[in-house]
Amino acid sequence: MKTKLNSAPGFTLVEILIVVAIIGLLASIAVPNYVKARDNSQQNACINNLRQIDGAAQSWALETKKTSGDQYTLSMIKPYIKLDNQNRIPPCPAGGTYNDNAAQYISNAPICSIQGHALP
């Protein structure tokens, strides 16, 4: 004799709600860590760009016999920097600027407009 099952195969509403709650909990943990990791990588990339700009300024100063009190602009040291595909100085990945219009002193480290993006 065969017995008839009364329930249809599938998941109950409670089981689905538990799975959704677990996924939401994991997402709430993962998203802040992702944002922090992205910010840290942008800051590190910006600092590396600042190192490249500072090295180019120092090379330019040595080659043109400038002293530490002399000023330079980014357009002056552009030949000493590895440019991106569009033939421009690599920008800050977080959207900051590197004081293109203002003259910098050779003795001072280049700066980014975003707080925390600075050479140590």
34 half-sphere exposure, CB direction, 13 A CA radius: 6
Residue 1 lies in a domain: no
Q: What is the average pLDDT across 3-14?
A: 76
Q: Does residue 29 lie in a domain region? A: yes
Q: Is residue 54 part of a domain?
A: yes
| Domain ranges, residue 32 | 18-105
pLDDT of 74: 87
For residue 13, tell me if it sits in a domain.
Answer: no
pLDDT recorded at residue 1: 60
Q: What value does the mean pLDDT take over residues 39-66?
A: 94
Query: Do 99 and 111 contact (CB within 8 A), yes or no?
Result: yes
Whole-model pTM over 0.95: no
The C-alpha atoms of residue 80 and residue 45 are separated, in whole angstroms, by: 18
In a domain, 77, yes or no: yes
pLDDT reported for residue 5: 63
Q: What is the chain's alpha carbon radius of gyration, rounded to the nearest angstrom?
A: 27
- In-domain check, residue 3: no
Assigned domain for 112 exists: no
> How many domains is the chain built from?
1
pLDDT digits (tens, 9 = 90+) for 14-42: 999 999 999 999 999 999 999 999 999 99
Does residue 120 belong to any structural domain of this protein?
A: no
- 97-108 as b/e, with b when 16 or more CB fall inside 10 Å? ebeeeeebebee
Query: Is the pLDDT at 109 greater than 70, yes or no?
Result: yes
